[in-house]
Each structure stands twice: as structure tokens, then as C-alpha cells.
Chains A and B, each alone.
Chain A
Amino acid sequence: MSDKDETPDNGLRRELPKEVAAEVAAEVAAEAAAPTGAAPEESPQLTGRQRLAKGLWPPRVTRAQLIVAVLLFGLGFGLAVQVASNSDSDSALRGARQEDLVRILDELDDRTQRLEDEKQGLETQRDELENSSDQAEEARKQTVEKEKQLGILAGTVAAQGPGITMTIGDTKGTVEADMLLDAIQELRAAGAEAIQVNGVRVVAGTYLADSDKTVSVDGNKINAPYRFKVIGKPQDLEPALNIPGGVVQTLEKEQATVTVEQSDKIVVDALRAAKRPDYARSSSQ
């Protein structure tokens, strides 16, 4: 097949596109008329390459060249426009067909849905975390508050507030531990919240005992005068001590002197180390 290129009238003709077949007829007509185009001027001896070179150089303004130039201008224009509009990122969807667009839209919808779900999940998680951190913060606050309250009871923190000071003078050495214990019981019954005796904090486990002429509180010997610092409602505490047959009268019967003073600000600052119980365990867990 390759050796037959040069001659126009060969088997190749059958494969030619339609315009080539039509061109033969047109050529006949063109030859009948005045030979204006480039092709009819050529002698049949010229090869295709020579014809191409002739057409290209020197440039000649012929009707054929002009018409072809106009058409090629249109082609180039269309080509450039199409390429430009295709390479624009925003109009990448422009050339797409309807079914493609529908598919793309569906995919986008799916994707949006997925992302929306994910977003919702994450927001829920965030809310939960915020709530739980809020709750943790609240619990921590309550714990601190409770620790303070329990610390006052257990004597691990200092306390201050209104209350009374009771001083028991015992020049004769007649005051015994049970009298002090009665006084403490009476104070507690009257709503005392924090008590210290001569620098010893009185807590739940406090015991009092006699030890030759003096009294020991939790093993600490204390000497007269016994000074009670009590936080509570002064209007309750003082009458509780002064009731007939009460603590004050009993002590005065034993030749001891008792003075009770109300005060707006009593500071109970004797502390006691927090002690972990050896045997008792909380049964609530």
C-alpha cells in the first residue's frame, strides 16, 4: 500500500474520506473553469511534498488560501475556546452530560450526608465531653467544699466563727476529767461545731483522762486554767452552760471559777493530723 501513495488513482481511493471522492468531481469542474486553486496549477509530476512546500512558501494570496484560512481560523478559535473552557476549573462540569451531572450530584449528596453525620457525631461527643468536664468541675468543687466541712469536724483545718470562750480556773485542783467531759458534752448538745481545749482540738475520737492532779486530753496533759474555745451559736451555748444544776454550777460547787464570754469571732486553730483508720473501712462501696 505504501508504494502507491504517489499516484492518486489507486486502490487507496476506496478508503479515502468522502470529500476526496467528491474532490475528483470538483477537480474536473475546476479544471473546466479558470484554474484558480493551487492544486490544478500543479503538474502531475510533482510529489506531495513538493506541493506542500509550494503551498507554504512563498505565501500567495489566492482565493483557496483565503477561504481555507477563514475556516482554519474558525477551527483554531473553536479549539482554543473549547480547551480554555475545559481547563477552567470552575467550568469543569460544564461539558458533562446530564447523567454524569446527576451521578456527581448524587455522590456529592452522599458525601455531604456522610460529613453531616460525622459532624453531628463529633458535636455530640464534644457536648458530652463539655458536660462531663463541667460535671467533673462541679464534683471537684463539691469535694473541696465537703473536705473543708469534714476537715472542721475532723480537726484537720482551722475554723473561725462566732462562739464563746469558757475559762475554768482550778486553784484547788478539784477539777477532774469527767467534769470537763460533761462540759464538752453540754457544749456539743448545744450545737458546738468546733472545740479546742488549751490548744488541743476536740474531735470525735477525743478522750479525757485524769493524770495526777491534772487532766490529759488525747494523751496531752493540760493544766488549769482550762480554756475552751467553742464555735457555735453563742446565744445557745452560754445558757446551756449556765442552766441550774448545769456545768457552771457543778464546777463552782467544786470551788472552781468559771467565766464565759461570748464573742463574734472565735478562732479554733489547733490542728490534728488526718489519720487513716487501721481497721474501719467504709462499707458504702
Chain B
Amino acid sequence: MIAVLGLVVGVVAGLLVRPEVPAVVEPYLPIAVVAALDAVFGGLRAMLDGIFDDKVFVVSFLSNVVVAALIVFLGDKLGVGAQLSTGVVVVLGIRIFSNAAAIRRHVFRA
């Protein structure tokens, strides 16, 4: 419950504060958000499976974000930033879908 509250408060704060995104972070923020979403879905699924662990969640969340940003950064440096970030989004999207399917089976039993 508190976790859900945290998400809601985060969204509200982001909308209210509307901070200028620093130019350095700008290209990585969307990818980082998608990676974090993937971690959250994974964590939700783990919770439903009864194997949730906060330490694992924290590590996976942070590493997801960092690795995604790193890949985009590397891609930018190599000159294939657009393609690599597309690839990252595709992979993360597939994972989010498979996690969502598992969650769906738990919640709706279908």
C-alpha cells in the first residue's frame, strides 16, 4: 500500500514541480523510466509468486536503470544510439509483457 502511495506521490510531485531535465540526463531518462517499469513489473510478479525480496528488488531496479542508461550512452558514443535505444525498449517491452502476462494469470486466473 505504501509502495503504491509512493508511486502516486512521485507522479504528483513530478507534475507539480516540473523540474528542468538537465541536458546530460535527457536522452537517458525515457530509457531509464522504461527499465524501471520493467523492474517494477518483475517485482510485482515476484510478489505474486511469493518470492519477493526487497533487496533483490532494489538491486534489480537500480541495475536495470543503470544498465539501460549505459547502453544508450554507449550507443550514442558509437553512433548507433537510435537503434540501440530502440533495441533496449523492445527487449524491455517484451519482458514487461511477459511479466504482465504472469501477473494477469495470478490476478485474474486467466
Contacts and interface: CB of A to CB of B under 8 A. Distances in A.
A39 B54 CA distance: 9
Contact of B26 (A38, A67, A94): A94
B102 to A, nearest CB: 7
B2 A12 contact: no
17 contacts: A17-B42, A19-B42, A26-B53, A48-B48, A48-B106, A58-B1, A59-B2, A59-B5, A63-B54, A66-B2, A69-B2, A72-B4, A72-B40, A76-B9, A80-B11, A95-B27, A99-B82
A94 B24 CA distance: 12
B10 interface: yes
A105 B39 CA distance: 37
B22 to A, nearest CB: 11
A139 interface: no
A52 B37 contact: no
A27 B3 CA distance: 20
B1 A65 contact: yes
B10 A73 contact: yes
Interface string B69-83: 000000000000110
Contacts of A73: 6-7, 9-10, 13
A79 interface: yes
Interface in B1-48: 1-15, 18-19, 21, 26-27, 29-30, 32-33, 36-40, 42-43, 45-48
B50 A42 contact: yes
A20 interface: yes
Contacts of B61: 71
Contacts, number: 201
B39 A80 contact: no
A56 to B, nearest CB: 5
Given A19-B60, A80-B11, A72 B6 contact: yes
Size class of the A contact interface (CB-based, 8 Å): 35 or more
Interface of A: 2, 5-6, 8, 12, 15-20, 22-24, 26-27, 30, 37-39, 42, 44, 46-49, 51-52, 55-61, 63-82, 84-86, 94-95, 97, 99-100
A55 B1 contact: yes
Contacts of A78: 10, 14, 29, 32-33, 36
Given A16-B45, A55-B3, 6 more contacts: A23-B53, A27-B53, A48-B103, A49-B106, A69-B7, A76-B11
Contacts of A38: 47, 52
A195 B99 CA distance: 115
Contacts of B1: 55-60, 65
B82 A39 contact: no
Nearest to A17: B42
A8 to B, nearest CB: 5
A106 B51 CA distance: 54
Contact of B30 (A56, A63, A67, A95): A95
